[in-house]
Chain A
Amino acid sequence: MNRITNIVSAAMLVITPFAAQATPEQDLQEFREHFFNKFPDTPKDDFINGVYSIDPASREQWEAFEEFPSYEIFVDKGEELFNKPFANGKSFVDCFPDYKKGIRQNYPYFDTKTDEVVTLEGAINKCLTDNGEKPYQYKTGNIAYVSAYLAYQSRGNNFNVKVPNDPQAMAAYNRGKKHFYAKRGQLNMACADCHFYYPGSKIRADILSPALGHPTGFPVYRNKWAGASASGDGMGTLHRRYGGCNKQVRAKPFKPQSDEYKALEYFHTYMSNGLEVNGPSQRK
């Protein structure tokens, strides 16, 4: 375990592909262009499908899976939990009155009153605690089901994450951006190494997916997670995936819903603005 380190190399920060002063809008434009140029055969709206947007071979198998998706029963569970009254007689409906129109596309957002990034999972748990209920555990289980239900209700809406003109909001955005491009872990790799510079390449037998469109399909049902769970429940949140990817490079993962991951999600999702919500989705 002492091999797990959390080294972030300072050198990396100098080489981020964007000028330090770039606005989020400029970042977004360059980010998209990078992937559009790299994958000219992928229709621009198809990046929501992760690795399947660039690999026709695995796409076929995945499409077969999506016909009878394994996440469906968990969307149903999420709906049940969503409508179940709390002890005080209220329910999630009171916290998310617009859920039928779809709300997933607006998360995460920056709350200028609390100076915090608010993720959908964070808002679900806040709704519980505000109403005197016990919060859900992060990463798996009920939190993923309710999130999946809300994503499902939001399908077809375009992501519209905002970075308000506020120094704290910009700071959170930049922290997330830094995390994305900074080398870390004993193996010294950045998210960007695998998902910005080398998507389409194979790392062992896995084809790396483009970061554009990454968050749109979350939460996901992963066959791998299902295999690892006693009940065969493969649902997991975006922060669960972040932890897994940090561990792969022998970096100590941050806690789900830590400031670090919330900031990362803020940047990462902002980079997918304009793409459709297609959560939950099925993954290998």
Chain B
Amino acid sequence: MRQTALFIKTSVSVAALTGCLSMITPLIASAADAADIAKGKELAFDRKKGNCLACHMIEGGTLAGNIGPPLVAMKARFPDYEKMKAQIADPRIKNPNTIMVPFGPHKVLSAQEIELVSQFVYTL
């Protein structure tokens, strides 16, 4: 399987190099994404950072709470990525009395950390 994948990747990059140069950019971006998504997951699970598991069931996490809805099928629930990210940055916009933490305005997570967490959550 891995070899096949490698082969495809190689052949695609060769095709990209020989063909349309603009193909290179998305390839690099998707490689960086995997690392970002891993970082985002770490931040989401870290009790001192997102601690999202305190309230949300998330695949791969243990001892999850159930104050908020399970984070599944995020793309279906949020066709617009930016809307989901806004919910994570400041859930008070949608629900002024929410128990969920205003991660952005209260500086629990930086803008970059919110981006990383959001990228991870969008894969769920």
Residues of chain A whose beta carbon lies under 8 Å from any beta carbon of chain B = 3, 5, 7, 11-12, 15, 186-189, 193-194, 197-198, 201-206
Residue numbers in B under 8 Å from A202 (CB-CB):
64-67
Contact with A along B45-77 (1 / 0, CB 8 A): 000000001110000000111110000000000
Per the bound structure, the CA–CA distance linking A3 and B49 in Å amounts to: 12
A119 CB, nearest partner CB in chain B, Å: 29
A204 x B66 contact (CB < 8 A): no
A203 x B65 contact (CB < 8 A): yes
Q: Which single residue of chain A is at the shortest CB-CB distance from B53?
A: A204
17 of the cross-chain contacts (CB-CB < 8 Å) are A3-B107, A7-B106, A11-B97, A15-B96, A186-B106, A186-B108, A187-B106, A187-B108, A188-B101, A197-B99, A198-B67, A201-B67, A202-B65, A202-B67, A203-B54, A204-B54, A204-B63
Residue numbers in B under 8 Å from A186 (CB-CB):
106-108
Residue numbers in B under 8 Å from A15 (CB-CB):
96-97
Per the bound structure, the CA–CA distance linking A186 and B109 in Å amounts to: 11
| The 6 nearest A-B residue pairs measured at CB | A193-B99, A202-B65, A205-B63, A203-B65, A201-B67, A15-B97
Per the bound structure, the CA–CA distance linking A5 and B105 in Å amounts to: 13
| A5, A187, A197: residue with the most chain B Cβ atoms closer than 10 Å | A187
Residue numbers in B under 8 Å from A189 (CB-CB):
99, 101
Residue numbers in A under 8 Å from B99 (CB-CB):
189, 193-194, 197-198
Residues of chain B whose beta carbon lies under 8 Å from any beta carbon of chain A = 53-55, 63-67, 92, 96-97, 99, 101-102, 106-108
Residue numbers in A under 8 Å from B66 (CB-CB):
201-202
| B67, B92, B97: residue with the most chain A Cβ atoms closer than 10 Å | B97
B11 CB, nearest partner CB in chain A, Å: 47
Residue numbers in B under 8 Å from A206 (CB-CB):
65
Residue numbers in B under 8 Å from A205 (CB-CB):
63, 65
Per the bound structure, the CA–CA distance linking A201 and B66 in Å amounts to: 6
Residue numbers in A under 8 Å from B97 (CB-CB):
11-12, 15
A204 x B101 contact (CB < 8 A): no
B117 CB, nearest partner CB in chain A, Å: 16
B97 CB, nearest partner CB in chain A, Å: 5
Q: Which single residue of chain B is at the shortest CB-CB distance from A16?
A: B97
Q: Which single residue of chain A is at the shortest CB-CB distance from B63?
A: A205
**Contacts A201-B66, A202-B66 given; 9 further ones with Cβ under 8 A?**
A7-B106, A11-B92, A12-B97, A189-B99, A189-B101, A203-B65, A204-B54, A204-B64, A204-B65
B15 CB, nearest partner CB in chain A, Å: 49
